[in-house]
Structure formats: C-alpha cells, structure tokens
C-alpha cells in the first residue's frame, strides 16, 4: 500500500464528523465492462479511463477488448482520455479495470469561496458560462434570475442552487433520454444524475457562475447502500475563488469520498462513455467502484 | 336604462367592500376594429361577438365590414359565434360595436365550492380534463402533482393555483407567440394573459379539475388605470360544485366586473379572434370595453 | 345472415379488380380486451365502440367489464361513443365484442372529387382546417406550400399528399410517443399509423383542405397477412366535393375493406382509446378485426 | 501593393472561367462596428478579428473601443481570437478595421477529394462528428440516411448535401432566432446563412463526415450585388481527404473569393460575435468587407 498522500491527509481533516476515518479504504477498484452487438465493423470512441488530471492516482490499470486488434488513445480539448477502436461485426466487449489511490478526499465544503465578477474570471473558465446543448442557460435565464438573481454571491448561493435542483427533480431510472435538456428535466421534474447535473450547470451559468459537467466513478463509501447496481455518476463542478469545486445535486447533503473523474465538458455531449459510428447495439454494461486494499488491487 | 336585472342585484351583493356600487356603470360599450391587407380575396373567420351564453345581455350591436359584401354566422361546438366573410384584395376592415348590460356581476368568490371526484363530473366537462395543444397537462403532470397534488381539494386549491401562476410568470408584452404552450411559458417565466390562462388551465387539468380557456372584453372598472391600450383578455374557467367559475391568474387578487365572454374552448386554438386562410397581414387593431350610460350607448 | 345492403352492392361495384368478391366475408367480428392494474379505484373513459355514424352496421355487441359495477355512455362533440366507468383497485379488465355488417365497401377512389375554396366549405368542416396539438399545420406551413402549394387542387393533390407521407415516414413499432407531433414524425422520418395520419392531416390543413383523424378497426381482408398482432388503426379523412373521403397514408396503394370507425377528431388527442384519471397501468391489450359469417357472429 | 502570393497564384488558376482575374482586388478592407447600451458596466467577449489561421493575411488592423479602457485577447480551444472588455454603463461602441491580403483564392472545387472511413479520420476531427446544440445530427439521422445514406461517398455526396440544403431552405431575414436548431430550420424550411450552415453540418455529421461551422467576412466580389447591407456570413467546412474544404449552402452554385474566417466551432454556439454578461442592448451594427487597393488600406 502507498503511504498516505498529502491529499489523503487533507481529506481526513475535512471528513464529515460522523465518519470513522480508520475505516476508509486506502484504494479504489474501478472499472467497467461494455458488450456490443454490431452488424458490421464499426469505429468507436470510448471514454471510461480516468481524466488526465487523475492520472497521478492510478496505481495500476488494464484495458482489454475482445475481438479488437488495436486501440489508440488521445486527449480531447477538455483533457478527457478518448480511446479509439474498431468493433468487429457480431458480439464484442471491452473491459477496463484500475486500482487508484483513494486520496482525493471528501468533497470540499468551503463556505468562504467567493464568486468572481465575470471580468475577473480566468479566460479558460469563460466557455463554461455559455449555453450548451443540454444546458440552455439562455432559455432558463428568467427562472434562474427569479430564484437566485438577488441572493448574495458566493458559496451559499451555489449550494442553494444544488439544493433547489435536488428539491425540484425526482430521481427516476429510465426518465432520461439522449436529447433531454435541463429545461426538459425542469418541465418533467424528473431525471437521472445527468439531468440533475445539467440543471445545476444551467442555473449557475445563467447567473454568471462558470459551471461544467463531470462524469466519473463514485463508490458508495460511508453512505447507505443504495440497493441498486453501480453506474457511472454525473455531477457538477463550479468555479469559485480560484478553483473548481465539486457539487453533487443528486446527492445533495452528502459529502462523498472516492470520486474519480473520467470526463469533463460543457455537458454530457462532451463526455459520452461510448460513441459508435454505425449500427451498434449496447447489449450489456456493468460498472465497478468500490474500496479495496490497494497493495494488490 | 334597463331596470336592474337579477344578475345585477346579485353582483351588488357580491361586490368587493371598497367599491362604491352607485358608481358602477349600468351598461358597457364593447367592440373592436381590425384592419387587414390582403394580396388576394381571402376567406376569414372572425370571433369577436359575445358568446351565445351572453346574448341576453346585448342591448344593441352592429357589425360592419368595409369592402366585404356578405358575412354569415354560425355557432361552433363551444357555442362561440363565428362570422365568415371574404376579405377583398388590398385594404379592408371590420368594426364591431355593442352595448350590453353590465349585469353579470363581480367575479364570484365562493370558498365553499367543492371539487368533484372525476366519476361525479358531468359528461360535458370531461373534455376539459384532457391535454390540449397549449395546455399540455400530461407534460406538466409532475410539476402539478408536486405543487398541488397533496393540497386539500376545493376552491382554496384552485385559488392557490391562480396565485402560483401569478407569482411564477412575469407579464411582458411581446413575450408570447402563436406556438407558445403553457410549458414554454413556465420555462420562460414570462407571458401575456393568454399564457397565464393556459398555465392555470394546465395545472388544474393535471390534478383532475376541469378547466377551460375563455377570452372576452374586460373593462377597467373599479381598478387602477393600467395605462396601456385596451386589448382582448384571456382568463380561466374552472368547474367546481355544479358550475364554471371565473379565475383570472393575470389579475389575481382583483375581483373584476364587466367580463363579457366572446369565446370558450380547450385553449387559445379554439378561440382565435381572426383566422384567415391566405396571405393576409393584420395592419391594425383596436379594442374597446368601457362603462357607458346604457340608454343611448 | 343479412341480405346484402345497398352499401355492399356499391362496394362490390367499386372493388379493386383483382379481388374475388365472392370471397368477401359478409360480416366482421371486431372487439378488444384491455387489462389494467390500478392502485386505487380510478375513473376511466373508454372509446372502443363503433362511432354513432356506424351504429346501423352493428348486428350484435356486448361490453363486459370485470369488477366494474356500472358504466354509462355519452356521445362527445364529434359523435364518438364514450363509456365511463370506475376501475377497481388491483386488476381489472373490459372486453368489447361486436358483429357488424361488412357493407361499408372498399375505400373509394374518386378522382373527380374536387377541392372547395375555403369560402364554399360547410361551416362544420372549418374546425378541421385549424392547427391542433399533433397536427401543427402552422409550423409545417412552408413545407406544405413547398411540396403541394402549386399542385392543381383536387383528388390527385390529396392522393399525392398521402403518397408523400407514405414515402417520407418509415413505419416502426415503438417509434411513437404520447407527445409526438406530425412535425416530430417528419423530423424523425419514423412513426406508427397514428403519425402517418397526423402528418397527412397536417399537410392537408396547411393547404386549406379540411382533414380529420380517424381511428377504428381494420381487418386484413384481401391484403397480405402483415404477420403482426392486430391493433387499432388510424387513418385520415379528407373533405372533398361534398363529403369526407378515407385516405390511409400508412397503407397507401391499398384499397381496404371493412373499416369501422370508432372515433373521429382533430387528432389523436380527441380519440384516445382509454383515458384514466389516476395511477393506472395498462397491462394487456388485444384487438380483433376479422371477417366472419354474420349469422352467428 | 504586395506581390502576388503563392495563394493568389493558386487562386487564379482555380478561378471560375467567367471571372476577369485582372479585376480582382489585391486586398480586402474588412471590419465592423458595434454599438451598445448597457445599464451597468458589463463584461463582454468579442469575436470579430480574423482567426489565428488567418493572421498571416493581415496587413494592418486596428481595434478601437469608446469608453472601454482595457481589452485583452485570448485564443479559445478552436483558435478563435476572443477579446475581453468591460462595457461602460450607457452608450459605448467598438470598431474593428483591417486590411488583409486577398490571397486565399476562390472556394476550391475538388471533385476527387474522398471521404475517409471514420477509423482513418485524424483525432482532431472526431469532435466534429458529434451532435451539438444547433446541429442535432442524432435527431435528424433518419432524414440524413434516407437522403444521403446510399450515395457514393466523396465530394459529390457532400456537394449534393449543400445543394439539398440550398433547395430545402428559403432565405428570409428575421427567420432565425438564438435557439433555432437545424431541425427547426428544416421544419420551417426557412433560415438565414447560419441555419443553412447548421443544416449542412448536421446532415454531414449524420453520415459520418466531419463538418464544422465557420463565420467570417465575405465580400461580394465577382458576384451580383445582393442589394442588402453587408453582414457577417456563416458557412460550412467539411473534412475530406486530408483537409477542411469550404462549402456554402446559402450561396450554393457560386464560387466565392475573399472569405476571411473569424471563428470556427461545432456550431454558432462556439462563435458568437459578441457575448455580454449582463443587461446590454445591441443598438447598432455595421459590417464591411470589400475589395481595396492594398497599399494604403
């Protein structure tokens, strides 16, 4: 097992009071398996590996694809690791497994983090103020102003947005779709974690707070067992003071540990787990994210 | 002037306490003028005359159309008086003027009016429980259940819906469009009286209360001068106990006198003021609705 | 068995040349069975019986509902027979069975039927020129004008619309949804018979031809076995000359016999087979429409 | 005047046969002026200067903003030059003027340029295969397959897409809106150059051809005077063989000279001319793009 990293120390200091720190696993086992059925060889781009910014946490990893001879990776404009491969006709599958340090700490609660006037925001954050496909902050501008426009800027306002999203959407499996926007979710009052994240991103941008969409692995550590199969999770990152902070409107009220970012972008359009350029059916998917003993992950 | 009708007596008894009844005008002068520009002779259907249910209040009336030789009327499935005519090429205009008794009373506030279980509703009300083009009560069902689903049934719940619509939409000229639905209005948080009425209708239907859309003349009597040109008004009618009651979410908190219904339907699609079957431009419109001395109106 | 009706004679004369008239069944057995699961007693409106205009063809019929003590019927504004009942909590079912004369003839092909100028249309047809929820003829007006605006008016134009709809939409089970409009279907190029009918209605209205939506029983007589379970069918009725004609864009190119109208309206919103006012799940549905020996149907 | 650049030579060789090459201006004067009215100081991002890839063509340039003390520039992820500034309360304006070499040549017509299988496309092009806000290639996938799916791949197919877009949309000022997608444009059959470009991008992506949106200055050289005020133009770039080619579905059939790219992206969301983070009204805009004598621009 690795010695505790500075991150882990910070995490400990920051842990919710009720958590027994000694019980936290030193490492995480993450991964997934996708199975496809294709009518012809079909090119695909796969995004399931930790984001470039998370590479330092990876202890070991393995990507294996049955029936796929070659795969190459590249990093897209958001630092997401994209893997290209050509799926063969018929059945095929790929598996990704990694052991990573559980040293990113609990979600940070920094009530002193302040909002910046737009003019003081770093250049790289500005794209995260614009409307995007699933986050039409222009269409929901009046809702956002009505609800949050007159609140004092800062962490509390952002947290109020997370709470409002949590209160206004009901979580329901099967309630999302590939074309569902944050405006649709608010109309339906229903969604999955993707929709919660989109709605929070949208509200933040509409009041000029940079916000981006993140997707990754999130183990159920120090929280009640949800009793449902593990899946990828989506959440929101918000730029306050001088950094991006994690907010999770789906799990608002919980501080989580073990998040591992796979992809970041303006919204889900930028971080599809798999993109296939042809007639391919996804016939199976499993996701793993759990605490493990790091030494032999 | 006519002797007071039973309606008028009822109205007096029912008037808001601050209103000086002696000052109420005995009659109303209502009417409108539309001007068109057509590239070719074009058939039109016009709905600007009082609804069949209001005919008893009409003291005198006149419909005049320049350049239009013949017009005929019929009553549609909702009892709306529809007038057919063929507009000539070039400029044309029509004018409608009527004097009607101001005897329909103030909007009624009947806190004891109860909701009926769907099974007890009269047959004729059931169509007003269904979604319609501008009132997609299926799409907004979850919003309605979240907001009103657990309230005690009855007048207070319906009034709460009117208040909620009033609070959630901002009135703005030019914010509507021919395709704007109640779901769009809620997303924008903006609309005109048509949108307020649609959203109220939608919320009521979604919790199984029959609601319909009404449009008509509404004079500014016993209310502050709005300082804007008179226009047609749209409001909502809701079936409680054994009758339809008027609710006006745009003017929630005001009890009004002088409403004169032109048209009723599931939503605005059923009660267009003018429908033209060809390339016609509306180049001018004025609306009148004011208290007058009934004798010579 | 009944003697041949005048209708049947007419039908024979009109039959496609390749059909062996002697083989046509004298009567039809139609019906359906719906099964529900409700969490509480829930009111429902059911529309599965022949339309008022078809009552003369009914030889015998029976409506039976398990666990439902009382049902009443009424006729809505379109002449559709609506049956009201309260479904009990838990499982329930209703069954409708009828034998009707197969005397309505083949779909009529009347190439001389002419379009009427809007000004000459009967009053009762005008509502079928307006946009409706699923038939937004205003939104698709430019498409309609581009494709059909300059064609010579008359039967051939209407038939061209049917053919265009047939060519532009692919039939796919599961491709529709309760909120799918004709504009959505055209964007997806996909739908079920409901969507085909909606798109044809929309195109017709946009070029000022009255069109309505019809749903009913349609046996597979004198056509190849489609190899799929029988379902309700939707088609289009268009007003030409002095009557409504049947067009079936889903089955364009086939002239069918045995259509039995259940409901007519502006679009599917007016003719839902079942409308339930509460938490009810449809757990099963079967439809029957087949030729039978009329005597003992 | 500059000596002819290699680009210009190439352009000459490539010019449409009817063009008198001697008459082509050696340089272009491009620029714009925007006027704003703000209620409070408001941050803005402005994208009106030539794209990084065009910087070598700039002979001289000047950006001037009244009432704006400081502006800084950065290059976004697409190489677009973005200028940040804070608009003062009240009226303000900025002006950009540049002289650039007219050496980019006529739009290239390369009928031998072939499509690449997705697996052979360079990594950097893959993002331009994905749906984006205004280019929902997933929603229009069936349209694209129906129309272009079985055509032979290559330049001719892409040109057929440009022609199809040109034929299916009517150009109309005022027919676009900030939320109008390619699917909306196809439903309306109407748009401005932005919508033409979006629809072409969408169709290309749906059949797996990388396509991006470009906006820039386009002088009316060697084409009839359109008789309307100069504006920014939007067009499409498509990746074939080993490079991006310009297609202009709005002006399909014309080969143009003098295009100067300002911005590129997935769609118009990435290349807004001005983005203002507050209550700012655009009160005036003029655009210049014309041939000039390069020496003293």
pLDDT tens for residues A240-282? 999 999 999 999 999 999 999 999 999 999 999 999 999 999 9
DSSP secondary structure letter of residue A173: T
Give the pLDDT confidence of B24-81 residue by residue, as tens digits: 999 999 999 999 999 999 999 999 999 999 999 999 999 999 888 788 999 999 999 9
Cβ-Cβ contacts under 8 Å for A138 (sequence gap 6 or more):
A131, A206, D178, D179
Which of A65-74, D127-136, D217-226 is predicted most confidently?
D127-136
CA A97 to chain centre: 18
Q: What is the pLDDT of residue A38?
A: 96
DSSP A43-104: EEEE--SPPGGGGGGEEEEEEEEET---EEEEE-TTS-EEEEEEEPSEEEEEEEEEEEE--S
Chain B nearest CA to A159, separation (Å): 22
d(CA C246, CA C248): 7
Identify the residue with better confidence: A19 or C51.
Answer: C51
| Residue D294 banded pLDDT, cuts 50, 70, 90 | low
Torsion over CA of C9, C14, C17 and C20, rounded to 10 degrees? -30
Of D6, D57, D53, D62, nearest to D27 (Cα)?
D57
Check C269 against B178: CB less than 8 A apart: no
Q: What is the pLDDT of residue C145?
A: 97
Q: Which residues of B touch C86 (CB under 8 A)?
A: 119
Q: What is the pLDDT of residue C11?
A: 42
DSSP secondary structure letter of residue B173: T
Q: What is the rounded average pLDDT for all residues in chain A?
A: 92
| Intervals of chain C under pLDDT 70 | 1-14, 294-297
Closest by Cβ to C187, choosing from D170, D183, D189: D183
pLDDT score of B12 more than 90: no
Q: Does D43 touch chain A (CB under 8 A)?
A: yes
Check D186 against C187: CB less than 8 A apart: yes
Q: Which residues of D touch C186 (CB under 8 A)?
A: 187
| Residue A212 banded pLDDT, cuts 50, 70, 90 | very high
Instruction: Report the pLDDT averaged over residues D117-129.
Output: 97
Residue from A43, A141, A179, A273 whose CB has the most chain D CBs within 10 Å, to mutate: A43
Is the Cα dihedral C15, C21, C25, C27 positive or negative?
positive
Check B76 against C127: CB less than 8 A apart: yes
Residue D64 is encoded by which pair of tokens?
């001037």
Q: What is the rounded average pLDDT for all residues in chain B?
A: 92
d(CA B198, CA B196): 5
Check A117 against D45: CB less than 8 A apart: no
Give the pLDDT confidence of D165-209 residue by residue, as tens digits: 999 999 999 999 999 999 999 999 999 999 999 999 999 999 999
pLDDT score of A3 more than 70: no
pLDDT score of A9 more than 60: no
% pLDDT > 90, chain B: 86
Q: Phi/psi class of residue D110: alpha, beta or left (left: φ > 0; alpha: ψ in -120 to 50)?
A: beta
* Cβ pairs A/B, distance under 8 A: 28
Q: Which residues of B touch A182 (CB under 8 A)?
A: none
Check C142 against D183: CB less than 8 A apart: no
| Residue D34 banded pLDDT, cuts 50, 70, 90 | very high
Let me know the angle formed at the C-alpha of B217 by B232 and B295, rounded to the nearest 5 degrees. 140
- Note whether C201 and C194 are within 8 A (CB): no
Instruction: Report the pLDDT averaged over residues D262-278.
Output: 97
Let me know the angle formed at the C-alpha of C71 by C65 and C76, rounded to the nearest 5 degrees. 120
In this prediction the ipTM stands at 0.92
Q: Does B137 touch chain A (CB under 8 A)?
A: no
Check C140 against D187: CB less than 8 A apart: yes
Check D189 against C139: CB less than 8 A apart: no
pLDDT score of B297 more than 70: no
Q: What is the pLDDT of residue B10?
A: 38
Check C43 against B130: CB less than 8 A apart: no
Q: Does C146 touch chain D (CB under 8 A)?
A: yes
Q: Which residues of C touch B138 (CB under 8 A)?
A: 178-179
Interface partners of chain D (CB pairs < 8 Å, 3 or more) are A, C
Give the pLDDT confidence of D92-103 residue by residue, as tens digits: 999 999 999 999
Of A121, A124, A126, A71, nearest to A96 (Cα)?
A71
Residue of A nearest to B143 (CA): A189
Q: What is the pLDDT of residue B140?
A: 98
Beta bridge partners of B44: B85, B276
d(CA A97, CA A58): 11
% pLDDT > 90, chain A: 86
| Residue B18 banded pLDDT, cuts 50, 70, 90 | confident
- Note whether B37 and B93 are within 8 A (CB): no
Check B146 against A190: CB less than 8 A apart: no
Torsion over CA of C15, C20, C23 and C27, rounded to 10 degrees? 0
Q: What is the pLDDT of residue D67?
A: 84
Is the Cα dihedral C43, C47, C53, C57 positive or negative?
negative
Burial class of A71 by CB neighbour count within 10 A (0 to 12, 13 to 18, 19+):
middle
- Note whether D258 and D29 are within 8 A (CB): no
- Note whether A117 and A211 are within 8 A (CB): no
Instruction: Report the pLDDT averaged over residues B132-159.
Output: 98
- Note whether C291 and C24 are within 8 A (CB): yes
Q: At what angle do helices D193-206 and D141-148 cross, to 10 degrees?
A: 80
Please name the helix (run of DSSP H) or strand (run of DSSP E) that holds residue A226, with its range, or none: none
Chain B nearest CA to C176, separation (Å): 16
Q: What is the pLDDT of residue B1?
A: 34
Instruction: Report the pLDDT averaged over residues B254-268.
Output: 96
**Residue A205, φ and ψ in degrees, nearest 5:** -60, -35
Closest by Cβ to A277, choosing from D123, D129, D132: D129
**Residue B214, φ and ψ in degrees, nearest 5:** -130, 150
Burial class of C192 by CB neighbour count within 10 A (0 to 12, 13 to 18, 19+):
buried
Residue from C127, C153, C183 whose CB has the most chain B CBs within 10 Å, to mutate: C127
Beta bridge partners of A257: A106
Chain C nearest CA to B168, separation (Å): 24
In chain A, what are the helix, strand and coil shares in percent, each to the nearest 5?
A: 25, 35, 40
User: What are the strands, taking DSSP E only, across D47-169?
Assistant: 58-66, 71-75, 81-87, 90-101
Give the pLDDT confidence of A178-198 residue by residue, as tens digits: 999 999 999 999 999 999 999
Closest by Cβ to D189, choosing from C142, C168, C170: C142
Burial class of B253 by CB neighbour count within 10 A (0 to 12, 13 to 18, 19+):
exposed
Residue of B nearest to C274 (CA): B130
Q: What is the pLDDT of residue A285?
A: 97
Q: What is the pLDDT of residue C288?
A: 97
Q: Does B147 touch chain A (CB under 8 A)?
A: no
Check D133 against A132: CB less than 8 A apart: yes
% pLDDT > 70, chain D: 94
pLDDT score of A17 more than 80: no
Q: What is the pLDDT of residue B5?
A: 39
Q: What is the pLDDT of residue B14?
A: 63
Check D187 against C146: CB less than 8 A apart: no
| Residue D225 banded pLDDT, cuts 50, 70, 90 | confident
d(CA C158, CA B277): 18
d(CA D194, CA D249): 10
Check B187 against A186: CB less than 8 A apart: yes
Chain D segment 177-216 residues within 8 A of C by beta carbon are 183, 186-190
pLDDT score of B291 more than 90: yes
Is the Cα dihedral A218, A219, A224, A229 positive or negative?
positive
Beta bridge partners of D288: D31
């Amino acid at each position: 097992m690795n010695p505790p990293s500075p991150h882990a120390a910070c995490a400990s200091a920051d842990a919710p009071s009720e958590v027994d720190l000694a019980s936290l696993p030193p490492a995480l086992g993450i991964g997934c398996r996708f199975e496809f059925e294709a009518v012809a060889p079909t090119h695909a781009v796969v995004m399931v590996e930790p984001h470039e910014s998370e590479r330092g946490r990876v202890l070991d990893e393995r990507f294996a694809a049955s029936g796929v001879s070659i795969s190459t990776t590249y990093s897209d404009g958001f630092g997401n690791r994209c893997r290209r491969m050509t799926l063969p006709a018929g059945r095929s599958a790929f598996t990704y497994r990694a052991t990573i340090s559980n040293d990113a700490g609990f979600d940070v609660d920094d009530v002193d983090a302040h909002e910046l006037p737009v003019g003081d925001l770093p250049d790289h954050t500005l794209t995260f103020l614009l409307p995007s496909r699933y986050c039409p902050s222009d269409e929901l501008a009046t809702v956002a102003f009505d609800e949050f426009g007159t609140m004092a800027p800062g962490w509390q306002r952002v947290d109020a947005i997370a709470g409002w999203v949590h209160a206004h959407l009901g979580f329901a499996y099967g309630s999302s779709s590939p074309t569902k926007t944050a405006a649709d979710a608010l109309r339906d009052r229903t969604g999955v974690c993707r929709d919660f994240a989109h709605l929070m991103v949208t509200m933040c941008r509409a009041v000029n707070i940079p916000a981006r969409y993140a997707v990754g692995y999130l183990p159920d550590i120090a929280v009640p067992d949800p009793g449902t199969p593990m899946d990828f999770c989506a959440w929101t990152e918000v730029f306050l003071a001088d950094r991006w902070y994690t907010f999770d409107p789906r799990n608002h009220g919980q501080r989580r540990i073990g998040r591992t970012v796979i992809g970041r972008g303006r919204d889900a359009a930028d971080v599809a787990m798999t993109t296939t350029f042809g007639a391919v059916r996804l016939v199976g998917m499993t996701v793993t994210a759990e605490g493990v003993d790091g030494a032999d992950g």
